[in-house]
Amino acid sequence: MTELAIVLILLGISSWAQEIRHELTVQASGFFTTQTTENGLTNKPTNSAGVLAGYRFNLKKWLAVEGDYDYFRNGHKFLTNSATLAFPMNVHAATGAVVVKLPVFKTLHPFVLGGGGAMFFDPRGGFVRNEQTRGAFIYGGGVDLPMFKHVALRAQCRGFIYKTPDFQTASLNVDKYSHSAVPSAGLVFAF
């Protein structure tokens, strides 16, 4: 009886070990933000390139959770009728999402995602010195293309929706929400 229990446990462990549960990704990305305007004040961020690093844990074949870190270096311009204020900025984002994997189409593995997180705006010069954190809603989708047994190419686009930063400066308060499109592509390592 004991031998049968040991065999069943080992079979269960070996079948679980054959499932790919973990994925690490490193991707190059872009950060494209819409401008926002309110009461004669316009916030116009510059577009920039960045990097994304992430971890995905597969709960089921069709369901996963993931955590991502994004970094971008861009600039912000605040335009009024009489002045233009511009300064460089580091933008960091830490997000978590639920991922639903859709049915495989030929060799493509599509997915959609939704979640939330925080964006950290860190001015690097000019008269603005205050860092600011904003909550963000994220959504998106993408596709994985397997290349080797444990390596795939991932292309995706995520959208970030967050309140436009004002850096605790009343004269920069646009009081609207911004939308950033964040397309990215890179490698996935599964284990």
Residue 7 binned pLDDT confidence (cut-offs 50, 70, 90): very low
**Residue-number span of the structural domain to which 102 is assigned:** 21-190
**What CATH number is attached to the domain comprising 29?**
2.40.160.20
Using the predicted structure, report yes or no on whether residue 110 has a pLDDT greater than 60.
yes
pTM of the model: 0.85
More confident site: 106 or 9: 106
Question: What's the mean pLDDT when you consider all of the chain?
Answer: 89
Q: Are 73 and 88 in contact (CB under 8 A)?
A: yes
Q: Is residue 97 in a domain?
A: yes
pLDDT at 11: 44
DSSP state of 105: B
* Per-residue tokens: 88: 């460089």
Which is more confidently placed, 3 or 101? 101
The pLDDT tens digits of the residues spanning 10-69 come to 444 434 444 789 999 999 999 999 999 988 899 999 999 999 999 999 999 999 999 999
The larger pLDDT score, comparing residue 82 to residue 44, is at 44
Tally of domains within the chain: 1
- Where are the strands (E) in 2-131, listed by range? 22-33, 36-38, 41-45, 48-58, 63-79, 84-101, 109-123
Indicate the SS3 state at residue 138: strand
**Res 164: pLDDT:** 92
6 in any annotated domain: no
Whether residue 10 lies inside any domain: the answer is no
81 against 6, higher pLDDT: 81
Pairing of strands 22-33, 48-58: antiparallel
CA distances from 119 to 2, 152, 160 (A): 54, 28, 9
Q: Is residue 14 part of a domain?
A: no
Across residues 75-96, what is the average pLDDT? 90
Per the domain annotation, does 80 fall within a domain?
yes
CB 112 within 8 A of CB 100: yes
The answer to the question of residue 42 being in a domain is yes
Q: Is residue 82 part of a domain?
A: yes
Domain-embedded: residue 15: no
Mean pLDDT value of segment 86-93 = 93
Residue 46 zone, left/alpha/beta (φ > 0; ψ -120 to 50; rest):
beta
